[in-house]
Amino acid sequence: MRAMFVLGVGLSKKLLILMNKLSKKIIDEAIKKNVEDALREDIRKIDLSENIIMGKKKACGVLIAKQSAVLCGSAWFNKTFSTLNKNIQVKWLFKDGDYFKKGSKLCEIKGPYQDLLKGERVAINFIQTLSSVATNTHELTALIKNFPTKIYDTRKTIPGLRIAQKYAVLTGGGNNQRLGLFDQVLIKENHINAFDNLENLLKQLKKLKLTNKIQIEIENINDLKLALAYDVKNILLDNFSIKKIREAIEINQKKALLEASGNITKKNIIHYAKTGVDRISLGTLTKNIKAIDFSVIIHPF
């Protein structure tokens, strides 16, 4: 792979094609805010250790992988250093979405020693978290690659990192459900409770001509039949057993898109995909993650 020095933010063409509502503009805005917040949290107005490194020494840092994973978050990494000093150069040997092995040298960073020290932990924090989401997603999508079922994320994300984590899901080969409450409606149990029962809610949605524009979460076969009777086109099967999902697919007859969610893990996801359900959504993609281990080693030159 040809190495390139990158200043600022870069996104691969493949990921740009995958993005729909998660546009480059939205991602760029998130990167800027995420990095500014993280640097403010870590440095505030001063780095107390800055004066330990006297003078204006130049340095070169190397990002090393301490375990195998899928890379994600290079744009956040780049932005951290460019925010501190626009003259810092980052040369990547891998790109987001690439699988790397333990011990791999992922990138080189060149710039003032003091600024590399200021940015290393913040930069690693982003990349260790987003690479974890991408790796988690990649492992699950790989398990069901021979089935038409697609994997989707949820809103169960780390506060402040919603866009970043959804980008990481895309990087790992998954798909984004809604970005938030502002871009898509998902009717859940607590919405239904406000109308006493599902049919009352469906009547209201039909009156507003919204039954084919929203997603409804249902918990049993009777509610599925009711939702289909009101022409709902996007139905989430909440905590359905594999047997019940097969029954739901038979009743549905491809009238609506069916999404399975709840208690789906790496151990049983293949069995869910074998049912032929259209989508599987997993909160575990973004909330049950373990940071990928990286280190940055810095030397003067």
Each residue's pLDDT tens digit, 39-74: 999 998 776 676 676 666 899 999 999 999 999 999
Domains and CATH numbers, the chain: 4-132+290-300 (3.90.1170.20), 143-287 (3.20.20.70)
What pLDDT, in 10s, does the model give residues 210-221? 888 899 999 999
Q: Is the pLDDT assigned to residue 183 strictly greater than 70?
A: yes
CA distances from 153 to 55, 57, 165, 229 (A): 48, 45, 9, 28
Q: What is the pLDDT averaged over residues 128-155?
A: 97
Residue 38 makes CB contacts below 8 A (sequence gap 6+) with: 80, 122, 125, 126
Position 219 scores a pLDDT of: 95
Residue 106 makes CB contacts below 8 A (sequence gap 6+) with: 63, 64, 65, 71, 92, 93, 94, 100, 294
Residue 230 tokens, joined? 């009101």
What pLDDT, in 10s, does the model give residues 90-127? 999 999 999 999 999 999 999 999 999 999 999 999 99
Residue 64 tokens, joined? 């090393």
Nearest to 130 by CA among 94, 77, 92: 77
Position 213 scores a pLDDT of: 86
**pTM reported for the whole predicted model:** 0.90
Residue 85 burial class via C-beta count within 10 angstroms: exposed 0-12, middle 13-18, buried 19 and up: middle
